[in-house]
Each structure stands twice: as structure tokens, then as C-alpha cells.
Structure 1
Amino acid sequence: MTAAETLRPDLGRELIARAAQSAARRAKRVRNQLDAVQLGQDRHADHADTKVLRRVLAEHDWPGHRLVGPDAARAAWSLALHADGDADFQRAATTLLERAVQNGDAPVQHWAHLYDRTLVNSGRPQEFGTQQLLTPTGVELCPVRAPDSLDQRRGSVGLSPLAGALETVRRRLAQDHQAGDPSTIVLAEVA
């Protein structure tokens, strides 16, 4: 499906632009490349992104593939995933995304990541093992409910077994360090 075939390509372009800007800001933030003023501006921009996505959800429900196309739907998911400053909004977005998944308008993997993020942000164990802490000593998985059946739950939503997903993250981190990127990410996603 192309942007021209979606119902709201204009909305799709806005979501993609906001998600790209958000990712660029996040990259600078985790590399400690922002001074105090820029950090405040960054937080304000995150709040503005959440406000825009809140309006989109109120007007259109979840902006799925049919409304904005797959790339913009992924952008909306990224904005919701990183709306950590508004737990109520993030939970509401998870509910709307779940409904979109049930209607075949969004990937279940997006829902699993967002659902895990809301659990971790509320201090509860995650369900699918998609959230991890990256520390100076390596990758640390955030607490998981019933770890013995984790790979079964991951498989039920189309995610690969955890060991392989963590190895991919470790390889990516090793490449970043070899390239001279000393960043430490506080909370990240495991595919």
C-alpha cells in the first residue's frame, strides 16, 4: 500500500516527520549531546508529539495501515512507544492499537512492544520480553512474567526466540562501540 492509496496521506507524512525528529532527538539525548536548554526543548517536543498523537487517536482511532499506510502506522507506534511521560495516554494507545491489530490494520508485534512498555513503565513484569535496559556492562532484560514460557508467548505474536533477539542487540551494540559511539540507552526494545 502506498501513501497515495491511504485515506490520509497528509496525516501519514506528519506522523513520519514527527517520528523521525523524535528519533534524532532521542539519539542525541542518549549520547548526552544536549545541554540543559536543549534537554528542556527536547522534553517539550516529546510532549507536543504526544499531544498530536492524542488528537489523532481521538479523531481517527489508531492510525493504521488503511488510514496512513504502513510507514506512518509504524511512526505512530514509535511515538506512542516513546510517550513515557504520559502513562495514561500510553495505556490508552495500547488499547486502540490492540483493536487495530484485531481488525488487521496493524502488526501484532507493535502491540506486544507497546504493551510491554506500559507494563515496565508501571513497574510490572513484561509479557513478551521486548524491553531491556542497556547498561555500561551490557544488556539487561527488564523483569518478565513467567520466564519459562516467554519464548512461547513471543512466538504467539510473531517474535523470534529471546536468545536470538538479544544476540542481535548485542551485535548492534558491539558495532556501535567499534564505530566510536559510546552511547548508553536506558530503555530499548528487543525485536
Structure 2
Amino acid sequence: MFKDDQRWRKEYNKFQQKKSAFDEETINSNWLRADSINEVKAKAIINKYGYPGYNRVGDTSNDFWAIVQHCDDDIAFQERILVLLKKEVDKNNADRSNYALLTDRVLVNKHQKQIYGTQIKLDPKTKKAAPFPLKFPKSVDKLRKQMGLGPLAVYVKSFNTV
């Protein structure tokens, strides 16, 4: 599932650099199809087993999280995962930074201010990266540190060097 999740995202990056063997339409349609199939599979996994934490699947738990992170067309599902993921994080059975990333993703998808500054947008004029609006801008780095994330300025800078 994770390979399928990443394949067309990587191909899109190649396309942006004019290095892909595929056109944009082919990439986008395959990307959407892979996400759709993975979403169905992720829901089946959750319904049958609950959230797959480290004790059940090892580091593959992070791959599962990435798939859920890309289920933007079903925010209710992502919110359901947040509840399950939080329980696993509290037991040190899942990555807290993944919880932070999904929390922000859901908030941004709901047009609300994010907490950890993990969701980034590019200014179309300047082509510079910046976080979507923050709920607690003065304490964002403290909140990020609690979730195992580095300083926001360093994170944003990493997008500006790509």
C-alpha cells in the first residue's frame, strides 16, 4: 500500500523536473486511483484490527499513517484515526510526530488554524513556503518539541530549499 501511495507522488516530482516518462494527466489519474484503493484498504484494516501500532506491525505503522494522511477526501475518517492514533501514542505504540501531522492536516482541511505548523503552502507569487495559519504562533516551537518535531523555522526552510 505504501509503495502505491508513494509511486505517483514521486512520479509527479519527476514530472515537475521534466524527468518523468508520464504526462501530468496520467500521473494525476493514477495518483487518485492509488489513493482511492488505499483508502478502502485502510478502512478495512481499521475496522478489522484497529490502528496498527508498532506492537502489531513495527515501523510499518508509519507507512499506514502516511496512507491515512492522504485520505483528505474523508476528513471524518481522518478524525476517527486521530482518536485511535492518540491512544497508541499515549502507550508509546505509535509516533507522536505523526499524530501532530495528522492533527494539523485535519484542521487545515476543515479551514481551521493548525497547532504544530506542519502543513505548508507555497506563495504563488514569491514561491516561498510558509505554514498555514497557526492557532498558537507564540508557542508553536514548544508544542512542536513536545511532539518530537524540530523548530518551525528549520522545517519551513527545508521546503524552500527543495
TM-score normalised by structure 2 residue count? 0.86
* Structure 2 letter corresponding to 1:169: F
Partner of 2:68: 80
CA change 1:160–1:38 in 2 (3 A) is: closer
C-alpha distance in structure 1 between counterparts of 2:63 and 2:38, whole Å:
11
Per-residue Cα deviation, 1:135-176 (whole angstroms, up to 9, x for no partner)? 4512121111121111111112121111122223323x1xxx
C-alpha distance in structure 2 between counterparts of 1:134 and 1:128, whole Å:
17
C-alpha distance in structure 1 between counterparts of 2:147 and 2:31, whole Å:
33
1:116–1:127: 8 Å Cα contact kept in structure 2?
Answer: yes
Divergent runs of 4+, >2 A = 27-42, 167-171
1:28–1:34: 8 Å Cα contact kept in structure 2?
Answer: no
* Structure 1 letter corresponding to 2:92: G
Listed as ranges, the gaps of 5+ residues in structure 2 are: 17-21
For residue 43 of structure 2, the aligned residue among 6, 30, 54 is 54
Partner of 1:163: 153
C-alpha distance in structure 2 between counterparts of 1:63 and 1:140, whole Å:
32
Partner of 1:108: 96
**What percent identity do the matched residue pairs reach?**
26
C-alpha distance in structure 1 between counterparts of 2:57 and 2:110, whole Å:
30
Q: Give matches, 1:116-135, under 5 Å.
A: 116-135=104-123
Partner of 1:10: none
* Structure 2 letter corresponding to 1:19: F
Q: Give matches, 1:6-85, under 5 Å.
A: 18-29=1-12, 31=15, 33-36=22-25, 38-70=27-59, 72-85=60-73
CA offset at residue 69 of structure 1?
0.7
TM-score normalised by structure 1 residue count? 0.74
C-alpha distance in structure 2 between counterparts of 1:164 and 1:86, whole Å:
30
CA change 1:88–1:29 in 2 (3 A) is: farther
C-alpha distance in structure 1 between counterparts of 2:27 and 2:152, whole Å:
36
CA change 1:129–1:80 in 2 (3 A) is: same
Number of aligned positions between the proteins: 154
Structure 1 residues 162-171 or 81-90, which shifts more? 162-171
CA change 1:42–1:144 in 2 (3 A) is: same
CA offset at residue 28 of structure 1?
2.6
CA RMSD after TM alignment:
1.8
CA offset at residue 86 of structure 1?
1.4
